[in-house]
């Protein structure tokens, strides 16, 4: 006999219950009626932010056609439930209809919590919960303006990232003393704050919101310490509350902090009624993550099908995510609440990484941990929670990633906590079904289908099972960057939309869009702000200048080889003085002009271009500088003219777009004053000519360049650099420095010598010709904007007031120059210490 199950709510957890029931209900025990209050079917709310980064609502959808066509499943959308009669076993809908049920599962989820601050209902205030919320935020966002997110937890930083993707300058206001207080500790919070501030966020911690200001629309936010943030867009993301409104009308008990009170099997106090997901208070506690909700759904399905007791096993509250490009993870007892717990911390302030392991009192068992900046070890560490360590703690915390091979994981270690999938289940599925890709593992086991944090471990397990894993650029392109370069070059594809239509899927993301933009620029497909290309660029490329922490930009003119005339030096000084800019000589022998507002950039460029300057590409993945010493013209030790060679190389390779930034240097003798061996390609003079070194860099992991060829004359040197750079541009992965690229080559430097010096592949002339095409078609990007009114129209702080400066940008004076001041209204400061500059 078929019975009727009514599921109230069609979010991720309600949908999971339906999926599990249909998979396991072999005898057609249940007819299922799903009542969804939203106008759309279940979608991936965990990945909601990707909706503003290229994904469509259809991409996020969870409901396949097979479920929609299922004759025993009836999905009703826009169906709000207003009452439940548990005695008659009926539910009442808003339209007056009444439905009977044999079993009722409440999966009503949660709603955003909006703190009771004055002004919280003004136009211009939003919450961050649904696709419709994001549509409203997108419509209200103004590029270049400040936006305020109230709440610095997981959802708050997601919301801040959404504003950033929309071109706004986000402020995050968090009452706790650190960001993400539930997930990370004090040390991790400090590192996280530093990393997100580098990306343009302004963070206010330990800060309460006094009011949202405005009369007919939001005009600002006032904090408890009298700080005022000028904004017309506020997003509340201060947590959620269970949707338990039906408890009263149904006569169901609530938990102390809300939610339908249920036992360990998710049963309410009324027979035949269950609650699952964020609306369920399991023995009094609500869980705001999808993994516990899925576990509840599976447990209730067991009970409905009489296949087990379906007891909720407890929740793994581990999380791993990438916020604003920053890795954050916590797992197990992250805050060391276990009695006698020990903490082992690895902090690298220079690299911006923080890692902590929480161990048992005998330092043998892993209890939990926190990772910020580099979460590559998470895939191995999380399954080891409550197990004896297979290696010393210091090995587990190696900054480059986990010091333990995944082979050390036992088969019963849970790899995917969202769906409770173990290592053994994954490896068994790979072997039994001949799986050869992550997508196959996802389909077969459900691992990796929710938050996605276990996908790197799935990839590793595929490799350990003998499967060669994909080198796909991202989920939208199955090809690697190098393969896409060859496709664009061979087919003449001239736009991202054409490339993804012919060779990819979906609408692209923040991985593939800039990578393809770089490929198109490398192949000379017009100005980077021309037409569709403008939308593909990263923030800096979008405005041809470097965004700074206070929302202003820095301008770096090219100074080839570091050589500059007195007249040009005077021009730089005059421009800095006219526009009130901060000036600093960089490590690459250039002068950086800081503090230009976005609407000032064209005015600054115009004066510089008229004086003979051009863009130094400090904002782009391109050649930055070719540094030089003074060479044999002035130095008594110099053996070659390093200045002339540096100028020649910089002018030849200026504007060359590449997978990552490029730096170079030329030293006039072996004393190496230009530090050429710390560069992507470096040249050192000898008595017989030049030695060419490649694959070096500074940064987080400094690496000395290696000798590619020795005693080259001028023409041999230029040809070999042509080949090296074009081979790198064609074959490197996205954001791969030359150092990592050389190391990744099969055969490393020796292989590079065979290809570039010995021409083992017969492509030397082709590489040289490609570089010559770049040289022949080079044009200055700044000048290109100045000559095009359409491009110039982008450079405004406010679309509706193009000549108006951003009033929130403020400076104070220090050492005779400006530096960023507080963005909000400043507290009084003694005039003897600082002087405010308006």
| Binding-site entries for siroheme | 673
Alpha-carbon distance of 404 to 398, in angstroms, equals: 9
Q: 797: which residues sit within 8 A by CB, 6+ positions away?
A: 144, 145, 597, 598, 599, 804, 805, 806
Which residues contact residue 253 at a Cβ distance below 8 angstroms, ignoring those fewer than 6 apart?
247, 260, 261, 268, 269
3-state helix, strand, coil in the chain (%, to 5): 35, 25, 45
Q: CA–CA separation, 100 vs 778, rounded Å? A: 73
* DSSP tag of 477: B
Q: Which residues pair with 125 in a beta bridge?
A: 234
How are strands ordered across the β-sheet holding 98-100? 81-85, 90-93, 98-100
Spatial separation of the C-alpha atoms in residues 177 and 199, rounded to whole Å: 20
Residue list, annotated binding site: 629, 635, 669, 673
Neighbours of 489 (CB within 10 A): 14
Neighbours of 95 (CB within 10 A): 9
CB 697 within 8 A of CB 679: yes
CA distance 362 to 365: 8
Binding-site sequence positions for [4Fe-4S] cluster = 629, 635, 669, 673
Cβ within 8 Å of residue 459, ≥6 positions away = 438, 469
Q: Check: CB of residue 209 under 8 Å from CB of residue 224.
A: yes
Question: Phi and psi at residue 223, in whole multiples of 5°?
Answer: -90, 170
Q: Which tokens go with 632?
A: 């044999």
As a whole number of Å, the CA-based R_g of the chain is 30
* CB-side neighbour CA atoms (13 Å) of 819: 6
| Both tokens assigned to 691 | 């030695």
Token pair belonging to 223? 């904090």
Please give the torsion angle defined by the CA atoms of residues 243, 247, 249 and 250, in that order, rounded to the nearest 10 degrees. 130
């Amino acid at each position: 006999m078929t019975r009727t199950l009514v599921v109230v709510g069609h979010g991720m957890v309600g949908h999971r219950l339906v999926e599990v029931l249909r998979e396991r209900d072999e005898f057609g025990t249940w007819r299922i009626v799903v009542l969804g209050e939203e106008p759309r079917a279940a979608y991936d709310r965990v990945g909601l932010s990707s909706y503003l980064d290229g994904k469509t609502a259809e991409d996020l959808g969870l409901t396949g056609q097979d479920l929609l066509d299922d004759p025993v499943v009836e999905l009703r959308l826009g169906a709000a439930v207003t009452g439940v009669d548990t005695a008659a076993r009926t539910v009442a809908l808003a339209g007056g209809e009444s439905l009977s049920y044999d079993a009722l599962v409440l999966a009503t989820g949660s709603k955003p919590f909006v703190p009771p601050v004055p002004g919280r209902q003004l136009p211009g205030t939003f919450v961050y919960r649904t696709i419709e919320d994001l549509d409203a935020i997108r419509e209200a966002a103004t590029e270049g303006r400040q936006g305020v997110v109230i709440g610095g937890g997981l959802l708050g930083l997601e919301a801040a990232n959404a504003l950033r993707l929309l071109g706004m300058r986000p402020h995050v206001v968090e009452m706790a003393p650190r960001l993400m207080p539930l997930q990370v500790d004090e040390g991790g919070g400090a590192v996280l704050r530093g990393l997100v501030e580098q990306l343009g966020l302004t963070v206010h911690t330990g800060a309460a919101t006094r009011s949202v200001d405005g009369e007919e629309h939001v005009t600002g936010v006032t904090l408890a310490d009298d700080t005022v943030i000028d904004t017309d867009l506020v997003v509340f993301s201060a947590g959620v509350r269970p949707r338990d409104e039906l408890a009263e009308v149904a006569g169901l008990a609530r938990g102390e902090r809300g939610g339908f009170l249920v036992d360990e099997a998710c049963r309410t106090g009324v027979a035949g009624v269950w609650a699952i997901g964020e609306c369920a208070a399991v023995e009094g506690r609500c869980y705001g993550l999808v993994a516990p909700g899925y576990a509840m759904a599976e447990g209730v399905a067991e009970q409905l099908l009489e296949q087990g007791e379906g007891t909720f096993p407890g929740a793994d509250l581990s999380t791993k995510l990438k916020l604003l490009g920053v890795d954050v993870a916590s797992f197990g007892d992250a805050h060391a609440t276990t009695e006698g717990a020990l903490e082992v911390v690895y902090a690298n302030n220079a690299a911006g990484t923080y890692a902590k392991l929480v161990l048992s009192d005998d330092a043998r068992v892993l209890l939990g941990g926190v990772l910020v900046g580099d979460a590559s070890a998470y895939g191995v560490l999380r399954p080891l929670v409550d197990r004896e360590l297979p290696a010393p703690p210091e090995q587990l915390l190696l900054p480059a990633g986990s010091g333990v091979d995944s082979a050390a994981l036992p088969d019963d270690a849970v790899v995917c906590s969202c769906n409770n999938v173990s290592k053994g289940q994954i490896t068994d599925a790979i072997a039994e079904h001949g799986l050869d890709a992550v997508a196959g593992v996802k389909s077969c086991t459900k691992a990796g289908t929710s938050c996605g944090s276990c996908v790197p471990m799935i990839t590793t397990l595929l490799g350990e099972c003998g499967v060669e894993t994909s080198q796909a650029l991202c989920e939208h392109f199955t090809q690697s960057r190098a393969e896409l370069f060859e496709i664009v070059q061979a087919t003449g594809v001239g736009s991202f939309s054409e490339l993804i239509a012919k060779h990819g899927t979906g609408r692209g993301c923040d991985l593939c869009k800039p990578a393809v933009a770089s490929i198109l620029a490398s192949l000379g497909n017009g100005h980077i702000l021309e037409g569709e290309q403008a939308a593909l660029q990263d923030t800096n490329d979008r405005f041809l200048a470097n965004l700074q922490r206070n929302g202003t930009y820095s301008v770096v003119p090219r100074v080839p080889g570091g050589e500059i005339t007195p007249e040009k030096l005077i021009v730089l000084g005059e421009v800095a003085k006219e526009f009130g800019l901060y000036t600093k000589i960089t490590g690459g022998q250039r002068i950086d002009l800081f503090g230009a507002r976005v609407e000032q950039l064209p005015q600054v460029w115009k004066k510089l271009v008229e004086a003979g300057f051009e863009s130094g590409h400090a904002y782009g993945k391109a050649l930055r500088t070719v540094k030089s010493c003074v060479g044999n013209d002035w130095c008594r030790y110099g053996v070659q003219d390093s200045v002339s060679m540096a100028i020649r190389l910089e002018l030849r390779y200026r504007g060359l777009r590449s997978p990552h930034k490029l730096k170079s240097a030329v030293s006039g003798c072996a004393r190496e004053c230009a530090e050429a061996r710390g560069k992507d390609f470096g040249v050192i003079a000898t008595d017989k000519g030049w030695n060419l070194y490649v694959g070096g860099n500074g940064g987080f992991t400094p690496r000395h360049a290696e000798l590619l060829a020795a005693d080259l004359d001028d023409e041999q040197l230029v040809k070999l650099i042509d080949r090296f750079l074009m081979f790198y541009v064609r074959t490197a992965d996205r954001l791969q420095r030359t150092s990592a690229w050389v190391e990744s080559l099969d055969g490393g430097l020796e292989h590079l010598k065979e290809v570039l010096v010995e021409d083992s592949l017969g492509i030397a002339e082709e590489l040289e010709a490609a570089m010559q095409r770049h040289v022949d078609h080079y044009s200055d990007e700044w000048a290109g904007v100045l000559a095009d009114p359409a491009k110039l129209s982008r450079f405004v702080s406010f679309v509706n007031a193009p000549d108006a400066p951003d009033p929130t940008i403020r400076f104070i004076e220090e050492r005779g120059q400006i530096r960023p001041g507080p963005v909000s209204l400043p507290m009084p400061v003694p005039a003897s210490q600082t002087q405010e500059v308006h």
